[in-house]
Every structure is written in structure tokens, then in C-alpha cells.
Amino acid sequence: MIKVILKDETTVEVPRGSTPSDVLQEAGIPADEGMVIAEVNGEAVDLDRPLEGDCHLEFLDFNTARGREAYRHTASHVMAQAVKRLYPDAKLAIGPSIENGFYYDFSMEHVLTPEDLPAIAEEMARIVAEDLPLTREEISREEALSLFEESGEGYKVELLEDIEGDTVTVYQQGGFVDLCRGPHLLSTGRLEALRLLSLAGAYWRGDEKREMLQRIYGTAFDSSEELDEYLRMREEAEKRDHRRLGPELDLFSFHDEIGPGLVVYNPNGAILRTVIEDFLKMEHARRGYQLVMSPHIMRKEVWETSGHLQMQYPMYFFEIDGQGYGIKPMNCPAHIYIYKSRTRGHNELPLRLFELGTVYRHERSGVLHGLLRVRGFTQDDAHIFCTMEQAEKEIDDAIRFAFEVQRGFGFTEFLVALSTRPENYVGDIEEWERATELLRKALEGQSLEYVVDEGEGVFYGPKIDVKLKDALGRYWQGPTIQFDFNLPRRFEMTYAGADNREHTPVMIHRTVLGSLERYMGILIEQYSGAFPLWLAPVQVEILPIADRHVPFADDIRERMESSGIRVKVNRESERTGNKIRKAWQMKVPYMVIVGDKEVESGKISVRSLAGRDERDVEVDRFVADLSREIDSKHSLEV
């Protein structure tokens, strides 16, 4: 007999070789409570995996991250089996679970189209109805190589060649066999709600030099109600997709002639970005940051000193007059050289340098995604150089600043992570522990809930990461605050201390938005393109009913522009209804309609996206209302 300790500390005795399913029965837990897999001493296992000794056992359902992963991974195996039944020549690549779903990559002669998905889904439904057991088997690596070579599964053979160890695991369901670590559901019949979503191309192993495979995306939930809700939210996300709204609202565009991942800002997008940049400049200046600018290229030796060259960072390099240069992937070295431009004393610290610096990184074309993943982007990049004694206050202020800005843009819910020392780190452990404790103290001092990501700090210091929750419940990477023990030493940075001796300053990397491109993409989707008034590229559109009303419209425009309001007049000779419809489509917050009555009275009619519909409005009152609404968002508390 062995002792099995459950999550509630209950101990159950069962014969050695019993499975988690047997323990379920022995403990009197109904099997229909939706248990997906189990954890044995922290290891995720199938419910029919034999228990070899005393252990801690926890049952996981679909509501746990590991449970969802196993559930959707099982669905990917069902999809792969369905594809193999329909297209026997299909070769299997990989099929993992991912956030909100799963995918599988195939190589086959038949070019899949959306019209093929219903047939694949129908075959998947048959496999679920067959309730095929998923059985796990440990076999030698040589047996596995022979198995997949004989079945012509070259991609599996390649994967096996890279696996270390003498044994591997395979899973079988019916006549379908796949190389897989698992765990999985006990049978295909336990899958409840499946949906195939889309098709895409994917390079084998993400390598653009390798062959392109066909990828099928799907999702799976343990109830049809959850699936329906997910599909509803997905449809809403598609409506908000910044890649669609951006061109429609004249915000940005991409052009093959210019190059992938390189953003062109159209007029409205340039206005939006300028508003954000001006806001950031003002808020940084109010907090003692000094605005700096740095060149886009620097000599190769700079990147050797920083370590980017040795780390094979995804940079672009070229030569001028036989001298190697690199296009900057970050702004840190330039700020260091500004610091080093003269001797610094302790009384000058902290020194806070801020730049809206455009950087370039050689991202693979397969990962580019609208504004969210580009090759050229601008960071609201700041570096704080201070003493270790000053670091606590600087970190506290940086965290406060970051959250004030995020709330100013309309975000109110966050996930905060404290990332600690990784295995490969520089500096001494005492420095790391002190820096980590300073970050922890700052978070707790502001009563911020956070999780600890053990070992996820960057090699040069611990960090704080903040993710933003948007209107659809999705989380996006936001502000970061990072300690750095590495660069100050590599670049031999010093300051004269009160003891007249040289000391090395602490360097804190900090962003409040991150990439402006990514943040604009997030904002577009957060607001579905209908920005709050202070951010809207065009805040008011004046719609004259006829040509004779244009002079009055121009007079109103001039009065609004003199108050700093972004306004335009639609001079097109078309029906007023069409003008209103176009203004709605462009998400203009306010529309002012002028006709004979308005010209005669000197007053205006106002409509808004928020539902305002008012007539006989005094122009001065309307301008004052707009100004108050705009000014209320133009600065934050310090």
C-alpha cells in the first residue's frame, strides 16, 4: 500500500500501481466533476498513470492552466487524426496547446482552404463520438525513430534526433500515434466543445529558411456555453482589430515596397502619436527627467562593450568607410555616454534621462503583427543613474508614475510580476538580493498585488513587469522597471562620492508605455478606435448642410482652433446624412451641424458618439465644455 496526500491534506491508502482515477474513486470524489489530469508531486500526469510510491496528489480540472493545456492538447491530437484520415499523405509536424486554443502544423499536397474546415470538424466529431482511449507508452528512442521512419513522418524523426535520453513517450488513439510528452484526457469522448478557427502558414521550426507548413488553429472548452462566450469575444476582438481599424481611420499603413514591420503614420496617426508624445514629454519634465536625443546608428565597438554583439542580439549591421556600425536596438548606450560626457559628483545624482528613441530589431517576418510586433519602433525610454541609497525612492516614484499614466489612458486592472535572479546572471548575489528587496518593498509599499517569477529577471538585474487588462479581458505587456548592475561596469561609469572616492552608479531602465507602436495598437483595440476626446485625432467635425453654410462653419472652426481644439470642416457637396455617417465611421467624438437655422441664430446643433443630441447650443459654451474635458486629461497628479 502507498499513502497519497490530497490537496486538502486528506490521506488515502491505495495499492501500489493504482492510478489517480482509482484514488478519485477511493476518496469518494465523483468522476463527473470534470477532472482532466492530475499532479503527482508537482508533475502533470494522466489520470491512468500508475502511482509508484507515497506522493502528494492534486486533481486538475479545466479551470486550471495545466488542465486547459492538457484538454486542448488532446483536441490537437484529435484534429491531427482527423486530418490524417481525410488526407493520408499529410505529414505531422507539431501540435501544441496555446493560449485560448491549439494548432497543428502539416505538410501535404492538398492546399487547405476555409472550405475544408467543416469536413475536418465533422471527422473530429466522429473521433470524439468513438470515445477512443488515449494510451501512453514509453519506448526507446531507437524504437521511436524506427516507428516514425517507417510511417514516413520525417518531422517527428527530426524532433527525435534532437531529443536527449534513451526513452521517449508516444500516445495512441485508435490507429493514430504521435510523439508526445502528454498528459492527455483519458479518451477522446471527454472532449465537449470544439471549434476550428482559421488557417495560416508557418515555417518549420520558425525558420524562414525551412519549408512552409499549413497550420490549422482551433479551440476547445469543457462546455458549449464557454465556447459560445469565447467566440462572441473573439468576434468582438476582430471588430476591434487594430490592423483593420488603423487603415480605416487613416492612422497607419504598411507597404511591401518599404518593407515588412516598418510603420508609416498617416495624418490621423501622426496626430495621435504626437498627442501621446507631447503628454509624455510634459509628464516627464514635471518629474525631473531631462529630454535627450541620440543617433540611430553607433559604431560596432559600442555594441561589443554593451554585450549585444556577443549575445547575437537581432541587430542590423553595415559599414561606412570600412568602419562597422550597428543600427541601435535600444537607447541605453547613448544615455550612458551622455552621463560620461563629464565627471559626475554625488550631488548631481539622481540623473534622469528620457528619450522617445526609435530603435530597430531584426524580427523574423513570421512574428510581425501589425503595430504589436514591428521592426522599427519608438520607446519612451528612461534611464535613472543614482546611488544605491537613492534607488528605493527612484523605484517607488517610477512605479507610481507608471500606474498614474496607465490610469490616465483608461486602464485600471493590472498583473504585476517581480522577476528574480536567473541562473546566468552578472554581479554578486548580495547586490541582487538588495535590489530585489527594493523592488519588493516598493510594490508592497504601494499595496500592489504581485506574483514572483522566479529566475525570470534579465541577466543584469531583477525587474518589475506590468501587464494591462483591456476592455476584452486580455492582458498586454506595459511598463517595465529594471535594475542594471552590468552596463555601468562594462562602460566604466563612475561618480565622485562624498568620500572623494570613485563609485559605480546604479542604473535603472524604465518605461511607462513601452513601445509607442504597440501601445497605440493596444489603445486602438481598447477603444475600438473611438478614442477619448483628448486623444482623438479629429475632435470635432463641422458639417455644413449646404455650400452657403460653409462660411459660418469656417468661423466656428477658427474659434475652436484658437482654443486648441482639433477640428475640420466637411466641405463635400453631399447629403448631410452621408456626412454624418462618414463622421461616425471615422469615430469623430463630436459633430457640429450647421444650416439656415444655425446661421440665423448663431447657435449650433451638436451630436456625439456618446449619444449627445442637442440643438441651440452656444458656441462659446460648447468650446468651454470641450476645453474642460480635454484639460482634465492633459496632466496627472505629481
Number of residues in the chain: 638
Is residue 463 part of the annotated active site? The answer reads yes
Q: Are 70 and 183 spatial neighbours (Cβ–Cβ below 8 Å)?
A: yes
The pLDDT assigned to 164 comes to 87
Q: Measure the CA–CA gap between 184 and 75, rounded to whole angstroms.
A: 9
At residue 110, does pLDDT exceed 60? yes
The pLDDT assigned to 634 comes to 58
At residue 480, does pLDDT exceed 70? yes
Beta bridge partners, 177, equal 172
Report the CATH fold assignment for 540-631. Answer: Rossmann fold (3.40.50)
Sign of the Cα torsion 196, 199, 200, 206 reads positive
Q: 368 CB contacts (<8 Å, ≥6 apart)?
A: 260, 261, 374, 375
Q: How far is CA 233 from CA 48, 192, 223, 477, in A?
A: 35, 19, 16, 20
Is residue 381 part of the annotated active site? The answer reads yes
What percent of the chain has pLDDT above 90? 84
Average pLDDT over residues 11-23: 92
Q: How far is CA 596 from CA 249, 546, 582, 614, in A?
A: 31, 9, 22, 16
Average pLDDT over residues 261-283: 96
Residue with grid cell 478519485, as numbered in its chain: 24
Identify the active-site residue in 84, 184, 335, 463.
Answer: 463
CA atoms within 13 A on the CB side of 244: 9
Question: In 112-161, which ranges are continuous DSSP H helix?
Answer: 117-130, 141-150, 154-161
Beta bridge partners, 14, equal 2
Q: How far is CA 250 from CA 173, 268, 270, 440, in A?
A: 51, 6, 10, 43
List strands edge to edge, sheet with 11-14.
11-14, 2-5, 55-61, 35-40, 43-45
Q: Residues 376-429: pLDDT tens digits? A: 999 999 999 999 899 999 999 999 999 999 999 999 999 999 999 888 777 788
Provide the grid cell at 444. 508592497
Is residue 613 part of the annotated active site? The answer reads no
Q: Measure the CA–CA gap between 535 and 537, rounded to whole angstroms.
A: 6
Average pLDDT over residues 587-615: 93
The pLDDT assigned to 28 comes to 77
What percent of the chain has pLDDT above 70? 99
Q: Residues 147-201: pLDDT tens digits? A: 999 999 999 999 999 998 899 999 999 999 999 999 999 999 999 999 999 999 9
Q: Are 431 and 485 spatial neighbours (Cβ–Cβ below 8 Å)?
A: yes
pLDDT band at 121 (very low <50, low <70, confident <90, very high): very high
* Architecture in CATH for domain 263-293+341-526: 2-Layer Sandwich (3.30)
Kindly report the average pLDDT of the chain as a whole number.
93
Report the CATH fold assignment for 66-240. Answer: Threonyl-tRNA Synthetase; Chain A, domain 2 (3.30.980)
Is residue 634 part of the annotated active site? The answer reads no
Q: Are 466 and 413 spatial neighbours (Cβ–Cβ below 8 Å)?
A: no
Provide the grid cell at 1. 500500500
Identify the active-site residue in 383, 421, 518, 566.
Answer: 383
pLDDT band at 236 (very low <50, low <70, confident <90, very high): very high
Average pLDDT over residues 314-324: 92
The pLDDT assigned to 322 comes to 92
At residue 633, does pLDDT exceed 80? no
Residue 6: left (phi > 0), alpha (psi -120 to 50), or beta? Answer: beta
Residue with grid cell 529594471, as numbered in its chain: 482
CA atoms within 13 A on the CB side of 582: 15
Q: Measure the CA–CA gap between 242 and 328, rounded to whole angstroms.
A: 27
Residue with grid cell 497605440, as numbered in its chain: 520
Q: Residues 487-515: pLDDT tens digits? A: 999 999 999 999 999 999 999 999 999 99
Identify the active-site residue in 55, 332, 380, 539.
Answer: 332
Q: Measure the CA–CA gap between 104 and 582, rounded to whole angstroms.
A: 42
Q: Measure the CA–CA gap between 187 and 191, rounded to whole angstroms.
A: 8
Q: Measure the CA–CA gap between 165 and 162, rounded to whole angstroms.
A: 10
At residue 443, does pLDDT exceed 70? yes
Identify the active-site residue in 361, 375, 549, 579.
Answer: 361
Q: Where in the chain is the domain with CATH 3.30.930.10?
A: 263-293+341-526
At residue 589, does pLDDT exceed 70? yes
Q: Are 478 and 414 spatial neighbours (Cβ–Cβ below 8 Å)?
A: yes
Residue 283: left (phi > 0), alpha (psi -120 to 50), or beta? Answer: alpha
Higher pLDDT, 456 or 102: 102
pLDDT band at 32 (very low <50, low <70, confident <90, very high): low
Radius of gyration of the chain, Cα coordinates, nearest whole angstrom: 30
Q: Where in the chain is the domain with CATH 3.30.980.10?
A: 66-240
The pLDDT assigned to 75 comes to 98
Element of type H or E holding 518? helix 516-526
At residue 636, does pLDDT exceed 80? no
Identify the active-site residue in 381, 397, 465, 470.
Answer: 381
Provide the grid cell at 437. 528587496
Identify the active-site residue in 284, 335, 509, 510.
Answer: 509
Q: Are 263 and 376 spatial neighbours (Cβ–Cβ below 8 Å)?
A: yes
Q: Where in the chain is the domain with CATH 3.40.50.800?
A: 540-631
Is residue 332 part of the annotated active site? The answer reads yes
Report the CATH fold assignment for 2-61. Answer: Ubiquitin-like (UB roll) (3.10.20)
Residue 302: left (phi > 0), alpha (psi -120 to 50), or beta? Answer: alpha
At residue 582, does pLDDT exceed 80? yes
Instruction: Look at residues 471, 473, 477 and name the one whose alpha carbon lies nearest to residue 511.
Output: 477
The pLDDT assigned to 33 comes to 64
Neighbours of 538 (CB within 10 A): 21
- Rounded to 5 degrees, φ, ψ at 185 are -65, 160
Sign of the Cα torsion 34, 40, 45, 50 reads negative
Q: Are 244 and 373 spatial neighbours (Cβ–Cβ below 8 Å)?
A: no
Q: Measure the CA–CA gap between 451 and 463, rounded to whole angstroms.
A: 12
Beta bridge partners, 509, equal 383, 482
Q: 572 CB contacts (<8 Å, ≥6 apart)?
A: 579
Both ends of the chain: CA-CA distance in Å? 65
10 Å CB burial of residue 482 (0-12, 13-18, 19+) is buried
Higher pLDDT, 584 or 632: 584
Q: Are 357 and 294 spatial neighbours (Cβ–Cβ below 8 Å)?
A: yes
Instruction: Look at residues 11, 7, 63 and name the one whose alpha carbon lies nearest to residue 36.
Output: 63
Q: Are 517 and 377 spatial neighbours (Cβ–Cβ below 8 Å)?
A: yes
Residue 400: left (phi > 0), alpha (psi -120 to 50), or beta? Answer: alpha
The pLDDT assigned to 313 comes to 82
Q: Are 576 and 547 spatial neighbours (Cβ–Cβ below 8 Å)?
A: no
Please state the separation of Cα 385 from the chain's center in Å. 29
Q: Where in the chain is the domain with CATH 3.10.20.30?
A: 2-61
Identify the active-site residue in 379, 406, 526, 539.
Answer: 379
Q: Measure the CA–CA gap between 485 and 106, rounded to whole angstroms.
A: 46
Q: Measure the CA–CA gap between 606 and 613, rounded to whole angstroms.
A: 6
Q: Measure the CA–CA gap between 376 and 361, rounded to whole angstroms.
A: 7
Average pLDDT over residues 434-463: 89
10 Å CB burial of residue 585 (0-12, 13-18, 19+) is exposed
